[in-house]
Chains A and B, each alone.
Chain A
Amino acid sequence: MDDLKSGSNLEKVLKAGHFAFTGECGPPKGANVEHLREKFRHLKGVVDAVNVTDNQTAVVHLSSWAASAIMVQEGVEPNFQMVCRDRNRLAMQSDILGVYTMGVRNMLCLSGDHQKFGNHPQAKNVYDIDSMQLISLVKKMRDEGKFFNDDPIDVPPRLFIGAASNPFAEPYEFRVYRLAKKIAAGADFVQTQCIYNMERFREFIRQANDMGLTEKCYILAGVTPMKSVGMANYMAKQVPGMDVPESLIKRLKGVEKNKVAEEGIRFCLEQIEEFKTMKGVAGVHLMAIEWEHRVPEIAERAGLLPRPVIE
């Protein structure tokens, strides 16, 4: 454990060979800290780290760094997300140092949804650097102790560097190559887009195994339980890069209306069972989307509790 890059709980769990389990939490669209703290309490001790989203869907929320700092106060480990949409390289490096001083040890580097989707479509489009370059930037800060411009950093931030991968966006053939690029750029772990098309995911992870990528980086499979048929239809049709097979929608439609959510959870649990034995999958990332209170139940039923505690 002496060669830990960040010393984060997530890193320790993965390095010790445990099947990792991460959650997600969206900060409020306001300064309702109490509500946020309440959401954290559901996740404490249930997951190894919690992703804190950064103005998700390009809608203004409480900042990811502030919510991450509050999470640290609550004794839950954050996975601080940063998107390239809102900041240039000066602001990014400044925020990276900032979160590190607040106790953040994991960071997920993302491009971010285009501002056109959000509630400020008139905003200036930043994208000074892309997610790949952001991964390199964090790695350089951590491993070389240098800013992007090569100036030395007095106490560099030690962060466990995360990236996202969408095996379902087109062109499919390139997706595993893009994963390879992110790993080459310095990603220590990768969380995937919500998986519903298991067949396509099996093929993706097989390619990643063949290319040796899963030995260089921890891959966490993304899951989101479907709460309703409406949600499944919306995800199938409206969310770019999301692949929801017709068979799943049919399955959800096949049960009584008040049992659809339970069926969604069952599908999710079946997926987790498969991921546990799937070569190249190091854990699961559960994006519960305002269902934080159901995460303990899902974790329990998935046999993921208690979470390992590593000193």
Chain B
Amino acid sequence: MIVADRKSIHEILDMVKDCSNILVVGCKGCVTVCNVGGLKEVQILAATLKIARKKEGRPLQVDEALLERQCDPEYIAMIQDRVNDYEAVISMACGVGPQFLSEAYPNQRFYPAVNTTFFGGAVAHGIWEERCAGCGTCIIHHFDGLCPIARCSKSLMNGPCGGSDHGKCEIAKTVDCIWDKIVRKKMEQGRLNDLLQVFPAKNWQTARDGGPRRSRREELIQNG
């Protein structure tokens, strides 16, 4: 899923400092799963903004909405009757949400309440880690399901580099050296020879380097 972190309350307050009424829109998708932009977080943000502004002596009216997803036009349409009743709208979805909202409602101002960070998963309760870089050409079958593109700090395809230390990456002791894991797994399985080939340079055209990407499913387009 897409993992995000909420922006600081100060940053969000600054975005809406000129407003007297706003709408906060959550998303039931990824940001709900990573506890950043679902119903509970919408309620907390709304309450926090109201309290902060009340303290300043400039009360802010904050209404709440929760969409099934903010990355589909049919769900975006569900707030059409009320979206323009506010001076601004804060989206708690990933970066896709406020963009879909902006495109659907060109007369309204939308602000992002979260920083969208990576594609990852929960490795423990409350801890999410990056697992995919969305490069568009998956190669993890060569590396026993471990991704050196997303998980090596240098995206090395022929690692580990000389900075690997006690299974940790040179950039920080909190970061695993994924190449250490790849090599050890190959050794355990007696398949170290798999790594003796020189993996050729990657074609990054399928990654963001090839420009904004688009996915088309012809059968859905025709039948839809």
Chain A residues in contact with chain B, CB under 8 A?
84-85, 89, 111-114, 116-117, 125, 127-133, 136-137, 148, 164-166, 169-171, 173-174, 177-178, 180-181, 184-185, 193, 240-241
Instruction: Tell whether, in the assembled complex, residue A169 and residue B201 are in contact, meaning their CB atoms are under 8 Å apart.
Output: no
Picked from B166, B172, B198, the residue with its CB within 8 Å of the CB of A181 is B198
Distance of B212 from chain A, by nearest CB (Å): 18
Residue of A nearest to B156 (CB): A130
Instruction: Tell whether, in the assembled complex, residue B201 and residue A89 are in contact, meaning their CB atoms are under 8 Å apart.
Output: yes
Interface of B is mostly: loop
| B183-201 residues at the A interface, CB under 8 angstroms | 183-184, 187, 192, 195-196, 198-201
Q: Which residues of B contact A171 (CB under 8 A)?
A: 160, 164, 180, 183-184, 187
Picked from A89, A114, A184, the residue with its CB within 8 Å of the CB of B198 is A184
* A–B complex contacts, Cβ < 8 Å, 12 sampled: A112-B154, A114-B163, A116-B171, A125-B154, A128-B201, A128-B204, A131-B158, A133-B199, A169-B164, A178-B160, A181-B195, A240-B162
The verdict on B20 contacting chain A, using a C-beta distance below 8 Å, is no
Report, as a range, how many residues of chain B touch the other chain: 20 to 34
Q: Which residues of A contact B195 (CB under 8 A)?
A: 174, 177, 181
> What total count of A-B pairs have CB within 8 Å?
107
| B91-119 residues at the A interface, CB under 8 angstroms | none
The verdict on B155 contacting chain A, using a C-beta distance below 8 Å, is yes
The answer to whether residues A240 and B170 also contact, given A128-B204, A129-B201, A169-B163 and a CB cut-off of 8 A, is yes
Q: Which of the listed residues B172, B184, B199, B201 has the most CB atoms from chain A within 10 Å of its own CB? A: B201
Instruction: Give Cα A180–Cα B200 distance, bound, in whole angstroms.
Output: 16
Distance of B189 from chain A, by nearest CB (Å): 14
Q: Which residues of B contact A240 (CB under 8 A)?
A: 162-165, 170
Instruction: Tell whether, in the assembled complex, residue B198 and residue A84 are in contact, meaning their CB atoms are under 8 Å apart.
Output: no
Q: Which residues of A contact B163 (CB under 8 A)?
A: 113-114, 169, 240-241
Instruction: Give Cα A297–Cα B161 distance, bound, in whole angstroms.
Output: 33
The answer to whether residues A111 and B154 also contact, given A174-B183, A177-B192 and a CB cut-off of 8 A, is yes
Instruction: Tell whether, in the assembled complex, residue A114 and residue B162 are in contact, meaning their CB atoms are under 8 Å apart.
Output: no
Instruction: Tell whether, in the assembled complex, residue B196 and residue A177 are in contact, meaning their CB atoms are under 8 Å apart.
Output: yes
Instruction: Tell whether, in the assembled complex, residue B170 and residue A114 are in contact, meaning their CB atoms are under 8 Å apart.
Output: yes
| B135-167 residues at the A interface, CB under 8 angstroms | 153-167
Residue of A nearest to B162 (CB): A166
Residue of A nearest to B168 (CB): A240
Q: Which residues of B contact A112 (CB under 8 A)?
A: 154
Instruction: Tell whether, in the assembled complex, residue B198 and residue A136 are in contact, meaning their CB atoms are under 8 Å apart.
Output: yes
Instruction: Tell whether, in the assembled complex, residue B187 and residue A181 are in contact, meaning their CB atoms are under 8 Å apart.
Output: no
The answer to whether residues A132 and B154 also contact, given A166-B162, A241-B165 and a CB cut-off of 8 A, is no
Instruction: Give Cα A85–Cα B155 distance, bound, in whole angstroms.
Output: 10
